[in-house]
Structure 1
Amino acid sequence: MNRYIKKIIHEVYEQRTDPLCAYIYDLEGIEQHVRNMVKTMPKQTNLFYAIKANPDKRIIQALLPYVKGFEVASIGELKKVRDVSKSIPILFGGPGKKDYELEMAMKENVFYIHVESLLELRKLIMLAKKRDKHMHILLRMNIRTKTLPKTNISMGGRPSQFGIDEQLMEEALSILKERENTHVHLKGFHFHSLSNNMQAALHVDMIHHYLQKVEQWKNAYGLTINVINAGGGFGVSYDATTRFDWPLFTSLLAQSEAVQNLGDTQLFFEPGRFIVADYGYYVAEVIDIKMSVECCFAVIRGGTHHNRLPASWGHNHPFAVLPLERWQYPFARPEVKQSKVTVVGELCTPRDQLHENAEVDSLRVGDVLIFEKSGAYCWTISHHDFLGHPHPNFYYIMEGNYYEANNYSIEQYNG
């Protein structure tokens, strides 16, 4: 845990009378992490940040000097990147792109569009010609394989709404060669077959499989390929499982003959979760501790409307207890010791649960729970306005200080 986290919580706690509920993002930690990632990458590779993991503009701005660009999956995300930089390369992916999204992608000079279907390809050809705008594309391919690593979420190698099935390759290339296409140019392929893979060696094997496929297609169809986008899917552990070993991954890539033989072809990676997950903290004060049928529940100010990831993934989210001493009531402060506690939120649903049967040494009403690894897919996938509870506060660590940012106003605190 960042050494500032507890200090920030104590200082903010002293300034408030209402129960504490906040996100804290360690921008310095994110920057250092990405610098270390890029440092070990082979020269043929480039790092993009998939902002779906966390599209906070301050995170995008912090990453701007260190990544090749950003991957977006909607016009909303595209606008957030362009609000930060008018020129940084953008990759635009995702199924179901509408005409206005494709036109906006052209207007905002998207680097590559990941084409997800034959219909999308035909629409883009029509719109690009109409606007007299030349566009570079990567075909997102759903390849048939039994060699993909096994993870909780897989998007390829099976029936999927993502990408173009491998057997439709010839039809896609035929569309690109039609006389009507004068403005859309194939530059490579995009693959994103899984999410949250923990095994570095298997990830390299999967990339080798991608490279072999592309080599087969190049030879079969006489293609010139500038880019192979191998997607993301690098795992983050929310329990005792060993996290993805990035240094091992990049060292195996550097030793790979297939990667060394890429020549001028660039290999892209677009992780999201792996870049930001470990550098966000969701902080929530314990409002009540209650027993029900021999089970102990800790009710927090907050819940899955702020941090939906544990409910979405069905996992127990890791947290630490920070004891705080304020207690303004004339009656005894509820407390449990050496107990199992299920952490739940303030919503009127039994699914509002962040951790089941957590072992705690001591926990009191008024103490704060710090949910670690809350930098990715926590706030942004949550149903923020369900039941109308107030949003959390947001704090950012940068240059030895921390800042509060709410409703686009920023107040600086001494760190």
Structure 2
Amino acid sequence: MYLYGTQTVNEKGHLTIGGVDTVDLAHIYGTPLLVYDIALFKERAAAFQETFKKAGIQAQVAYASKAFSSIAIYEVAAQLGLSLDVVSGGELHTAVAANFPREKIHFHGNNKSYTELQYAFDEKIGCIVLDNFHEIEMIKEISEARKEKMNVLLRVTPGVHASTHDYITTGQEDSKFGFDLKNGQTDDAFLKLHNHPYIQLLGMHCHIGSQIFETEAFRLAAEALMTKMVEWRQKFKFTCSVLNLGGGFGIRYTAEDEPLHPSKYVEEMESTVLSMARTYNYPLPEIWIEPGRSLVGDAGTTIYTIGSTKEVPNIRTYVSVDGGMSDNIRPALYGAKYSAASANRMLDPHSDKVTIAGKCCESGDKLIEEAFIAQPVEGDLLAIFCTGAYTYSMASNYNRLPKPAIVFCEDGQHQLVVRRETYEDIIRLDIPLQKIGREQSK
């Protein structure tokens, strides 16, 4: 059993997070409950920031908030001096509600609407990452009509294959994201923006995928973008001031995963950029990165309550919990793996091999195919580790299940930051048929 961050086992045999007993949290807030170890989030952020500082490189570490978006986590990110990566009007609105420093907000996404781009101008955010020619035309129109300036980056696909699941690789040529670096699209995009009176092109951006453990792909991506930057300087006398190399740094979900320390990924990027800048006498650009999963992934733990147990002789034992694919779609979506433990019986032998099943009406609603836990008893608490990224942000109300509550824990204190949905929340947007009839008759 691998414990993360501040997780410990107390004298009662209960799992604690941030110095708080998870059994107490379950009694106070109910289950399913997503618990964040905020000290671990801070530790990971500091590790990225310190690596750049030691190298004396100007940098921005932007929290890729698609991993988990809420007002509270944005407030913590702001306190730590992080920048913020948002990918929709909704995430931008959350950042505005959190009073996040606008100049540190970067707006991503492969299909930004005209309204969303206007919203970005309204809030005077720090940068828009342009993903396609349609966005270039829209942002030119908006900036010219308003006579307002906006910083932009061009997102490019460097043709680098990262060793990860096909659903979360994004840097190859066949991608819905960005301008292809090899077929001339990136150059065409550059020329449409070069010397525009209101659009300030800062440089380029790439993101090659997620849950990547090796550094070679990051080195190759940095080389590809630096090569293009050198070419632009030679041809157009244009120098990129920013090189954004994205995120995708892997974390440990199970004992099979062997992630590197966050500093290792940054060091590989730094050395590549520094080496090429020296070789070509290129002014060292400011380096931006966008960790998301590697900041919040293993900082989050979901606590469930065990309900029914079903034994299928000679095949498997199903242990069902009070959540499932509605609060964590990743196992059903692309076979993501997790580890688990009996949160209220951590000292008992974890020798029962079971399948952790959710309560959604889908045969594929299995959170863990093979988990080793204490002999399951109805009412036991089950902790599934490393659920801090892409769980709540991808949660749904399938089967009309309410989304879980979220609690932050640190230094023995706990605070509710997202309340549990109620049944009334679920039907809040529903309109009874007779009301539609009355509206139409007016």
What's the TM-score bracket when you normalise by the shorter of the two chains? 0.7 to 0.9
CA distance in 2 between partners of 1:253 and 1:165 (Å) = 21
**What residue number does 1:332 align with?**
none
Counterpart amino acid of residue 244 in structure 1: L
CA distance in 2 between partners of 1:14 and 1:253 (Å) = 46
CA distance in 1 between partners of 2:337 and 2:305 (Å) = 18
User: How big is the shift at 1:304?
Assistant: 1.1
For structure 1, list consecutive stretches of 5 or more residues without a partner in the other structure.
326-335, 410-415
- 1:66–1:204 CA distance, 2 compared to 1 (3 A): farther
CA distance in 2 between partners of 1:130 and 1:254 (Å) = 39
CA distance in 2 between partners of 1:149 and 1:365 (Å) = 43
- 1:120–1:289 CA distance, 2 compared to 1 (3 A): same
- Which of 375, 380, 391 is matched with 1:378 structurally? 391
Counterpart amino acid of residue 209 in structure 1: A
**Does the CA-based 8 Å contact 1:236-1:243 persist in structure 2?**
yes
User: How big is the shift at 1:251?
Assistant: 3.6
- Which of 298, 304, 315 is matched with 1:278 structurally? 298
**What residue number does 1:318 align with?**
339
Counterpart amino acid of residue 59 in structure 1: I
Q: Report SS of the residue matched to 2:191.
A: helix
User: How big is the shift at 1:408?
Assistant: 9.4
User: How big is the shift at 1:107?
Assistant: 0.8
**Does the CA-based 8 Å contact 1:211-1:258 persist in structure 2?**
no
- 1:238–1:79 CA distance, 2 compared to 1 (3 A): same
Per-residue CA deviation, residues 280-301 of structure 1 (Å, 9 max, x unaligned), is 1111011011113532100101
Q: Where do 1:4-403 residues align within 5 Å?
A: 4-5=16-17, 7-14=20-27, 20-41=31-52, 42=55, 43-88=57-102, 89-143=104-158, 145=159, 147-152=160-165, 153-166=168-181, 167-177=184-194, 181-239=196-254, 240-256=256-272, 257-258=274-275, 261=278, 263-294=283-314, 295-323=316-344, 338-383=351-396, 385-403=397-415
CA distance in 2 between partners of 1:387 and 1:175 (Å) = 48
Counterpart amino acid of residue 364 in structure 2: R
Q: Report SS of the residue matched to 2:73.
A: helix
Per-residue CA deviation, residues 52-86 of structure 1 (Å, 9 max, x unaligned), is 00012211111213244101100111111122225
For structure 2, list consecutive stretches of 5 or more residues without a partner in the other structure.
9-15, 422-442
**Does the CA-based 8 Å contact 2:246-2:288 persist in structure 1?**
yes
**What residue number does 1:333 align with?**
none
CA distance in 2 between partners of 1:177 and 1:214 (Å) = 13
CA distance in 2 between partners of 1:14 and 1:187 (Å) = 51
User: How big is the shift at 1:48?
Assistant: 0.7
**Does the CA-based 8 Å contact 1:342-1:357 persist in structure 2?**
yes
- 1:85–1:233 CA distance, 2 compared to 1 (3 A): same
Counterpart amino acid of residue 245 in structure 1: H
Q: Could you tell me the TM-score, scaled by structure 2's length?
A: 0.82
User: How big is the shift at 1:233?
Assistant: 1.2
**Does the CA-based 8 Å contact 2:321-2:356 persist in structure 1?**
yes
Higher strand share: 1
User: How big is the shift at 1:99?
Assistant: 0.7
CA distance in 1 between partners of 2:276 and 2:419 (Å) = 46
Say what the alpha-carbon RMSD is for the aligned residues. Answer: 2.6
**Does the CA-based 8 Å contact 2:162-2:171 persist in structure 1?**
no
Counterpart amino acid of residue 390 in structure 1: P
**Does the CA-based 8 Å contact 1:149-1:206 persist in structure 2?**
no
User: How big is the shift at 1:264?
Assistant: 4.9
- 1:82–1:313 CA distance, 2 compared to 1 (3 A): same
Q: Could you tell me the TM-score, scaled by structure 1's length?
A: 0.87
- 1:172–1:252 CA distance, 2 compared to 1 (3 A): closer
User: How big is the shift at 1:36?
Assistant: 2.4
CA distance in 2 between partners of 1:219 and 1:148 (Å) = 28
Aligned length: 393
